[in-house]
Structure 1
């Protein structure tokens, strides 16, 4: 189990580290770029992003196409934060109500992980609003990494069916936040 946890974390962050080391040199995005369907497709086609999730997520909100890229950063980070709070409430409820002693510690750790992730996302929101995209990238990556830890703790555990998809959605949103802010960091 411990090896699986370490292996999973290494393989989940490796593509992002590669992306973060390459992207700033090749980015051609500007905070003032108007968001269009073409730009959404281009942004969502970046390595490590689950394109179908990203496109559907952004296209589902009509506000998306009224923004520039800087405004889009704020919107996606805010939506990530909102889901983080919902998932934190879910984890607190599971930690409080579980009767399985083997789940008390993983749920408690996930509560702590969500609290840390939300704090990082709140920091990223401030950095992005100040156009300090490199610091926002670091904060969103921290949020992503922390939730990966939670996911690994719950792997192979008898948890309710809705928990993993919600964790995965938050993790994907954190990944999108990381990639998007990194594109503007250059």
Structure 2
């Protein structure tokens, strides 16, 4: 079947001026374009978001609801890895001034993981505002860990980086949940 030739310029202009929250079809399968759109939300580190989610081939088999679930699960898994790292640092540190801060970070990561478990439950129940709040709590927990480790020169360089990554993941959960809250789903 032949389609008539139509200029797409007016359509592109319409898409550019239409707010994101009204232009994304949440039940459609995620595409690279829709992922870029999602990762371009304010407060999300776009480059991190795109690379993190593009590297998982599952991303492009899901709709937005499934993507939110994937993001929560990936965030929680990363939290578990960071928790294991913190527990190891508590056991192996030779700096007595770091034993207590590392121990605090273990507690903060346990709390963050619990918050992500809550986020999963809320997302399943379609309580997206509560999903966002749970992700915010996880983010805040790791802020506390960072504060306890701030200014300490003997902290391995990957520890602050891993904390930042986890917080970015929590923020993506929060923002994606806020998109669903704004759409009243």
Match of 1:59 in 2: 54
Correspondent of 2:87 among 89, 92, 105: 92
Find the aligned partners of 1:144 and 1:33 in 2 and give their Cα distance: 29
The two structures have a TM-score, normalised by structure 2, of 0.83
Q: Secondary structure at the match of 2:105?
A: helix
Q: CA RMSD in A?
A: 1.5
Partner deviation per Cα, 1:102-142 (whole Å, 9 max, x = no partner): 10111011000000000000000111122111110010011
Match of 2:99 among 84, 100, 104: 104
Question: After the TM superposition, which segments of 4 or more aligned residues of structure 1 sit over 6 Å from their partners?
Answer: none
Richer in helix (by share): 1
When Rg is computed on C-alpha atoms for both structures, the one with the higher figure is 2
- Offset at residue 30 of structure 1 (A): 5.2
Q: Secondary structure at the match of 2:156?
A: coil
Distance, in Å, in 1 between the alignment partners of 2:34 and 2:25 is 11
Normalising by structure 1, report the TM-score.
Answer: 0.83
For the residues of structure 2 that align with 1:133 and 1:31, how far apart are their CA atoms?
A: 14
Distance 2:113 2:61 in 1: 26
- Count of paired positions: 162
Q: Which residue of 2 aligns with 1:133?
A: 128
Report deviation, 1:162. Answer: 1.5
List gaps (5 residues or longer) in structure 2. 1-18
Name the residue aligned to 1:72.
67
Verify: 1:176 aligned to 2:149, yes or no.
no
